[in-house]
């Protein structure tokens, strides 16, 4: 039986910025308008990170209010973190295993979009056609894999 702490890693889409953390607090989704804009989505998924370290590169920061700043990759734009005097929170979608930080609470409901609760009831488009299948088959991802790498991008992808 190991006493080693659980290690959570993650980073941006292009691999320029990576992080590591072993002590996570309560994961949440924040409905405030600043999180909506920072993530370009309906909410901001965040997990408190008590001892996070940047293991590759350093993020750029935007002072989004007098009380908070937000980290993002300066190369690809991936949202990475939110920081206040209370500490750092990491973007759940930036984790290599986002399921390890499943949200446990919703906050700032005053800005919650009115259609949010009905999203899971939307119809699912299941039909596929040959053109779409060919499009998907032709995709070669340049996204960093969901694990740490010695360096990035791979030598064969470098100019």
For residue 53, what is the domain's CATH number? 2.170.150.70
Task: Report, in angstroms and rounded to the nearest whole number, the Rg of the chain calculated over CA atoms.
Answer: 18
Query: Is residue 47 a part of any domain in this protein?
Result: yes
pTM: 0.88
Nearest to 19 by CA among 42, 44, 43, 51: 51
Burial level of 24, CB count in 10 A (0-12/13-18/19+)? buried
Residues spanned by the domain of 106: 8-119+144-153
Let me know: does 8 contact 98? Beta carbons within 8 Å: no
Q: Of 14, 39, 3, 42, nearest to 158 (Cα)?
A: 14
Residue 66 has phi, psi (to 5 degrees) of -70, -15
Q: Is residue 158 part of a domain?
A: no
Domain count, the chain: 1
Q: Is residue 137 part of a domain?
A: no
- The average confidence (pLDDT) of the chain is 92
The model's pLDDT over 23-46, given as tens digits with 9 standing for 90+, comes to 999 999 999 999 999 999 999 999
Per-residue pLDDT of the chain in tens (159 residues, 90 and over written 9): 567 789 999 999 999 999 999 999 999 999 999 999 999 999 999 999 999 999 999 999 999 999 999 999 999 999 999 999 999 999 999 999 999 999 999 999 999 999 999 999 999 987 778 888 888 888 888 888 889 988 777 766 655
């Amino acid at each position: 039986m190991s006493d080693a702490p659980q290690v959570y890693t993650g980073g941006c889409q292009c691999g320029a910025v990576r992080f590591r953390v072993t002590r996570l607090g309560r994961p949440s989704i924040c409905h405030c308008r600043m999180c909506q804009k920072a993530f370009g989505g309906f909410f901001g998924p965040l997990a408190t990170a008590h001892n996070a370290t940047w293991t590759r590169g350093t993020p750029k920061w935007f002072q989004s209010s007098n009380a908070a700043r937000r980290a993002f990759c300066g190369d690809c734009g991936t949202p990475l973190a939110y920081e206040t005097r209370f500490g750092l929170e990491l973007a759940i979608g930036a984790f290599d295993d986002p399921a390890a930080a499943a949200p446990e609470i919703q906050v700032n409901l005053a800005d919650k979009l009115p259609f949010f609760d009905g999203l899971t009831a939307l119809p699912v488009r299941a039909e596929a056609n040959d053109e779409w299948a060919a499009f998907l088959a032709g995709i070669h991802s340049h996204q960093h894999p969901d694990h740490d790498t010695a360096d990035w991008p791979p030598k064969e992808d470098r100019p």
